[in-house]
Amino acid sequence: MDQRNYSRVTEFVLLGLSSSWEPQYFFFVFFNFLYVTILLGNLLIVLTVISEPALHTSMYIMLSNLSVLDVFLATYGTPKMIHDFLHEHKTISFEGCMAQIFLLHVFAGGEMMLLVAMAYDRYVAICKPLHYLTIMNLRKCTGLVVGSWFIGVMHSLSQLAFTVNLPFCGPNVVDSYYCDLTLVIKLACTDTYVPEVLMLLDSGLTGVTSFLLLLISYMVILATVRRQSSMGMAKARSTLTAHITVVTLFFGPCIFIYAWPFSNFPVDKVLSVFSTVFTPILNPIIYTLRNKEVKSAMHKLKSRYVSSRLPF
């Protein structure tokens, strides 16, 4: 059929987390609480790093950027999801859907690359401690952070390039709470085999490359600290535990979803919520709130705020 005869889809219908109306009010309150917690927790970390000169090192600069990415990752779809809990008819415009796809892959791709950069930072700190400040100077740190964002943007543009011009002419129901690229592509009124393969190769290359680089960095660190003192081993284990936990929480759902990218399982919604809502809450706790330097800086920030509120 000639594509000029198609009536272009102007909006998509989102089925949300549940088709039942009963749990919607609970979801509304619950996810509002989680979203506010994400904003406050991650923005507190960013403010703490900015306000404390002792934290102006590559490790904490990257951690603050991770918090920024987590805020954005939670914001691209969560407010819309919360809004839809109180509405029976959940829709999103075509342009809004494409924007969601773009933003999701920018922030997710950027976070993958930033986790790799953070692993490299820990490798230098543990394996080459005497040269750490020389190697991980401000210029190198800035390059790694900017590079992470740049790769995220390029990854997202490549995903969007073969999606935005697909003909969407009829089916417009997405069985999710956001515009999931793997589900949206299937709604196109054409053979989607090539776009599906390109999407899988693009996401797979980004994810697998990041994951392999992370594994290699951890193995090198462990091989190095085995030859050092027990104190060095304990410090490395503590650092690696935090990193591996975050990597597992972030990559685990992605690996499952993209292992069967064009098959829709009920658990996919749970994993998507975990990646975009729960992971941004857990990252600050795992990476920074257990950190003595960050805790001390937060106490100083609180003391300065309290002092500024006291009358003279």
- Whether residue 59 is contained in a domain is answered as yes
**173-174: strand order across its sheet:** 91-93, 11-14, 173-174
Higher pLDDT, 105 or 272: 105
Give the model's confidence band at 3: pLDDT under 50 very low, under 70 low, under 90 confident, else very high.
Answer: very low
Contact predicate 257/263, CB 8 Å: no
Confidence tier at 296 by pLDDT (50, 70, 90): confident
Range 210-233 average pLDDT: 75
> Looking at residue 180, what is its pLDDT?
85
Query: Please, what is the average pLDDT of the chain?
Result: 83
Span 49-71, average pLDDT: 91
- Whether the per-residue pLDDT at 71 is higher than 70: the answer is yes
The token pair that represents 187 in the structure block: 């709604």
Number of domains in the chain: 1
Whole-number Å distance between alpha carbons of 227 and 236: 12
pLDDT for res 191 = 85
For residue 98, the SS3 value is helix
Asked if the structure places residue 120 within a domain, the reply is yes
Q: How far apart are the first and last CA of the chain?
A: 78
Q: Flag whether 307 is in a domain.
A: no
- Which H or E run includes 296? helix 292-309
- Residue 259: per-residue pLDDT: 58
Q: Is residue 308 part of a domain?
A: no
Q: What is the percent of the chain with per-residue pLDDT over 90, rounded to a whole number?
A: 30
The CA distance from 250 to 271, in Å, is 10
The set of residues, in sequence order, having a beta carbon less than 8 Å from that of 253 and lying 6+ positions away, is 271, 272, 274, 275
Where is 17: in which H helix or E strand?
none
CATH assignment of the domain containing 264? 1.20.1070.10
Which H or E element spans position 11? strand 11-14
Task: Evaluate whether residue 305 is within a structural domain.
Answer: no
Residue 273 lies in a domain: yes
pTM over 0.85: yes
Q: How far, in Å, CA of 182 to CA of 269, rounded?
A: 13
pLDDT at residue 46 in the model = 93
Give the tens place of pLDDT for each residue, 83-95: 999 888 899 999 9
Are residues 253 and 272 in contact, defined by beta-carbon separation less than 8 angstroms? Answer: yes
Query: Which two three-digit tokens encode residue 27?
Result: 């979801």
In tens, the pLDDT along 143-167 reads 999 999 999 999 999 888 888 888 8
Residue 311 placed within a domain: no
Q: Examine residue 5 and state whether it is found in any structural domain, yes or no.
A: no
Per-residue confidence (pLDDT) for residue 261, from 0 to 100? 55
Residue 97 has pLDDT above 70, yes or no: yes
pLDDT one-digit tens code per residue, 198-209: 887 887 777 778
Which is nearest to 46 in space by CA: 15, 22, 71, 24?
71
Q: Residue 17: give the domain boundaries.
A: 11-300
Decide: 35 and 277 in contact? Cβ < 8 Å.
yes
User: Residue 2 pLDDT more than 80?
Assistant: no
